[in-house]
Amino acid sequence: MALEQLNSEQPEIEIEKTKEKIKIPISTLKLLSDILKAMGQGKLISLVPVAAEVTTPAAAEILGCLRPHFVRLPEDGMIAFTKVGKHRRIKYEDILK
C-alpha cells in the first residue's frame, strides 16, 4: 500500500484540479483509506460527532440489539443518559464504551 511507503507524519498532497499542495496528517490519510476501502466493499459509513446524543432506538441499532434490551441498560445504571421530556438521550461516546 502506498501509505506504508510514506516516511513523513504530515505528507504533502496535491489537489489535481487546482495544483494546490496541502499537508495532511498520516493518521488522517489512513482513516480516509479505511473509509474508501469499506465503501468499495459496499459497507455503509457514517460519521458521528462523539459528543452527539442519540435516542434509545438509535443506540440499540448502533449496538445491534433490541430496543427493550437497550432501555434496561440506562435504567440499571449501566450507561449514562439525560432526559429530554420523557425521552432518554445517550451520548454516542458512551454507547461506544
SS3 82: strand
Record the pTM.
Answer: 0.55
Q: Residues near 79 by Cβ (< 8 Å), separated by ≥ 6?
A: 73, 90, 94, 95, 97
Taking only the tens place, the pLDDT of each residue in 41-51 is 999 887 777 77
> Would you kindly state where each structural domain of the chain is located, as residue ranges?
2-40, 53-96
**Given this model, what pLDDT does residue 74 score?**
86
SS3 36: helix
Taking only the tens place, the pLDDT of each residue in 31-85 is 888 999 999 999 988 777 777 899 999 999 988 999 999 989 888 989 999 998 9
pLDDT exceeds cutoff 70 at 3: no
Taking only the tens place, the pLDDT of each residue in 7-35 is 667 778 888 899 999 888 888 888 888 99
